[in-house]
């Protein structure tokens, strides 16, 4: 994951950019085997016209046998990403052209193009319903989901094929996080949620995670990341007591404000000795507490991947998430 570089591989395939219609580029052309690469559709946010993304999408349909495409990334769609990406509606409109689509990345936008908090997630429910065989969904963007008068980004649904789901954000609304927990996802094996900060729409609390952490609707989940949160200590405490945790293989609490309080909660809660990996990068855990985690878990074969503690800032609590604006 990087917010500074475009995704180089996706769905197990190298990513190529669909060149503009008048491009002379030869490194990535519509002649690439449709099922041998992951296709990225994006426009230049400064040079291209406002409606260029839709034109690029239709050019893709005209020049590539999209019935063979298995992996698709939708990147920058205009210079103002606070409006919903047209990619969502176009994917639903042309669902018959993508019968083999299994991996979808919505919002493969780098920081040079837009801050993550400026990007609309859009309405995801129609896409998930239109693609019942989708196996992986990655969504990058900000909140824009706290207004009860607007359509929610996600409504509780059942999806039988989805195996990997990741939300990358500087702030996810309580409504969205709660909806994730209310989705029935029987095949889901990997879930990663960047909760974010209140200033940029991250209004979720541990109460909004309760349904997810019960594990009832995600019976196959083995890899969980609850990350990039300014309430990371509370998240850790909730995870330590959650029924879901007992069947996890990997737990990631990186990118947030985790400190000794949260680490102590992990040690005091249910045993984590069944884990294969505990990962905590970008944290505020003291060296002695980090060593306690290692000493407790490593003898049981757990890989404790805990990086160096971040330096406290001189204002507020001193702690901060890795990604916010």
Predicted confidence band at 111 (pLDDT cuts at 50, 70, 90)? confident
DSSP state, 19?
A: P
Domain-embedded: residue 324: no
**Residues 285-323: b if buried by 16+ CB within 10 A, e if exposed:** beeebbebbeebbeeeebebebeebbeeeeeeeebbbbb
Domain-embedded: residue 20: yes
CA gap 170, 158 in Å, rounded: 26
pTM of the model: 0.94
Q: Is the pLDDT of residue 307 over 60?
A: yes
Domain-embedded: residue 272: no
pLDDT above 70 coverage of the chain, percent: 93
Domain-embedded: residue 285: no
Domain-embedded: residue 277: no
**According to the model, what pLDDT value does residue 165 have?**
99
Q: Which domain holds residue 79?
A: 9-255
How many CB atoms sit inside 10 A of residue 241's CB?
Answer: 12
Domain-embedded: residue 162: yes
CA gap 160, 133 in Å, rounded: 8
Report how many domains make up the chain. Answer: 1
CA gap 224, 89 in Å, rounded: 30
Q: What is the 3-state secondary structure (H, E, C) of 176-195?
A: HHHHHHHCECCCCCEEEEEE
Higher pLDDT, 27 or 62: 62
**According to the model, what pLDDT value does residue 118 have?**
84
DSSP state, 218?
A: -
CA gap 22, 56 in Å, rounded: 11
The closest of 121, 130, 116 to 151, measured between CA atoms, is 121
If you average pLDDT over residues 104-117, what whole number do you get?
90
Domain-embedded: residue 40: yes
Domain-embedded: residue 290: no
Residue appearing with tokens 């850790």:
236
- DSSP string computed for 226-290: EEEETTHHHHHHHHHT-GGGGG-SEEE--SS---HHHHHHHHHSS--TT-SEEEE-SB---HHHH
Interhelix angle 232-240/260-268, nearest 10 degrees: 0
CATH number of the CATH domain containing 213? 3.80.10.10
Predicted confidence band at 242 (pLDDT cuts at 50, 70, 90)? very high
């Amino acid at each position: 994951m990087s917010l500074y570089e475009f995704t180089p591989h996706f769905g197990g395939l190298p990513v190529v950019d669909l060149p503009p219609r008048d491009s002379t580029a030869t490194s990535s052309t519509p002649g690439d085997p449709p099922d041998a690469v992951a296709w990225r559709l994006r426009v230049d946010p400064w040079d291209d016209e406002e409606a260029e993304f839709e034109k690029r999408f239709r050019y893709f349909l005209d020049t590539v046998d999209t019935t063979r495409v298995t992996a698709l990334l939708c990147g920058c769609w205009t210079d103002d990403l606070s409006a919903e990406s047209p990619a969502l509606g176009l994917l639903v409109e042309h669902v018959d052209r993508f019968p083999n689509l299994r991996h979808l990345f919505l919002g493969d936008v780098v920081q040079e193009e837009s801050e993550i908090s400026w990007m609309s997630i859009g309405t995801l429910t129609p896409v998930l319903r239109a693609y019942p065989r989708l196996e992986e969904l990655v969504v990058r963007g900000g909140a824009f989901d706290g207004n009860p008068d607007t359509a929610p980004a996600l409504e509780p649904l059942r999806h039988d094929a989805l195996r990997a789901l990741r939300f990358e954000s500087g702030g996810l609304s309580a409504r969205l996080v709660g909806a994730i927990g209310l989705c029935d996802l029987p095949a889901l094996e990997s879930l990663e949620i960047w909760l974010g900060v209140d200033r940029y729409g991250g209004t979720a609390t541990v109460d909004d995670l309760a349904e997810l952490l019960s594990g009832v609707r995600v019976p196959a989940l083995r890899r969980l990341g609850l990350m990039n949160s300014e309430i990371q200590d509370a998240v850790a405490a909730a995870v330590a007591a959650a029924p879901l945790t007992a069947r996890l293989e990997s737990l990631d609490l990186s990118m947030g404000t985790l400190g000794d309080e949260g680490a102590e909660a992990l040690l005091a809660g249910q045993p984590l000795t069944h884990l294969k990996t505990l990962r905590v990068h970008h944290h505020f855990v003291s060296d002695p507490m980090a060593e306690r985690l290692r000493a407790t878990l490593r003898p049981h074969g757990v890989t404790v991947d805990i990086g160096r503690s971040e330096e406290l800032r001189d204002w507020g609590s001193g702690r901060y998430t890795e990604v916010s604006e």
